[in-house]
Chain A
């Protein structure tokens, strides 16, 4: 096993990836993420996390808002701390904390593309489901502490985005158009249908931009898209290269023995190591793909997807500083537990 073989494998993975996946999958996804970041008014969502808000709404919004409110972990933690201490409380805060890294739109898109639509869907459903369930369980376990917490009056949350210039409906329609482009471009239909379809949808997009949006909004959207791309793509390329290197270095027998097939132990190992390991945004996908090609079972794959991006040793330390060691231990254990169970179930269903 020479160093050149390893580098060669990494390099090859990079080329395959860039050619096959970038254009059709991630480019539209970045524009979508940029649009979400630029156009979805954060305070419209934040108001669901106030201390007096309806609990059901708080949990529901928290479980999916991760897709909207945060792409990088530095945004998740302050918001988590705020919701916990001055907002709707521990439960919704935990739901948000988990869902943020677990279901951001880029990650789910890329997962569906690279690992298969079924795994992508399972990841999205698992993430949203867990977020709510784990939040509820933790709120229940620590309910006495929560009651003792002083009920603060509604904290005036500052407007985080400037005044809306385009109507909400137009923005939503625009977002739907972008998503349509993504789905069409990645659909498994013949090229004769696909590309004309994309072109037509692009025409709609340009029309929408011209008619509905003001110049500085368009600039904001493009700025956000570019900022995200600048932040994520370099690290992603490193991750892809690393994944390729893993393929060359890691013996298949090891992978199969520990996480092959669909055993409870295998799912647990995947979930536990995922919880400890740090994955920069999106890098979990090519790495897991490499592991799949080395023989990792589909159950453990899902377990790793559900525990990996959401947790890491450094993030556990940061979370611990915000909510204390005891709650952090409970949180991590719940995540590992549910990831293991979901992975095992998914694998057993033989989907």
Chain B
């Protein structure tokens, strides 16, 4: 499971990373969360507005902070 949080470092992306970490521990999946802060790389993931979350190469959300529950449902999607 490859998880990336994209954002230049403001509070929104940190909150997203925190929700993602909480989601991971709640459903018991081990995965490292990679934080991408280099703006020129966002475009490669089709991300135009941060924060953004990419799981296994699939862009799940951009421009807002999703809830832990939403992240859990995406994680479940990716494992099935």
Contact = CB atoms under 8 A, between A and B. Distances in A.
B10 A78 contact: no
B44 to A, nearest CB: 9
B80 interface: no
A318 B47 CA distance: 17
A123 interface: no
Chain A contact residues (Cβ within 8 angstroms of B): what range? 20 to 34
Given A42-B63, A158-B61, A158-B62, A78 B50 contact: yes
Contact of B42 (A78, A158, A161, A318): A78
B59 interface: yes
Given A74-B8, A75-B50, A155-B46, A322 B39 contact: yes
B49 A78 contact: yes
B34 to A, nearest CB: 17
Nearest to A157: B48
Contacts of A327: none
A42 B40 CA distance: 21
A77 interface: yes
A81 B10 contact: no
Interface in B37-75: 38-40, 42-43, 46-50, 59, 61-64
Contacts of B61: 158
A72 B10 contact: yes
A150 B46 CA distance: 16
Interface in A63-92: 72, 74-75, 77-79, 81-83, 85-87
Contacts of B62: 158, 160
A326 B53 CA distance: 32
A208 to B, nearest CB: 24
B48 A78 contact: yes
Contacts of A158: 59, 61-63
Contacts of B48: 46, 78-79, 81-83, 87, 157
Contacts of B42: 78, 81-82
A75 B11 CA distance: 12
Interface string B1-42: 000001111100000000000000000000000000011101
A322 B38 CA distance: 9
Given A42-B49, A78-B49, A322-B40, A160 B64 contact: yes
Contacts of B9: 74
B64 A85 contact: no
A322 B48 CA distance: 13
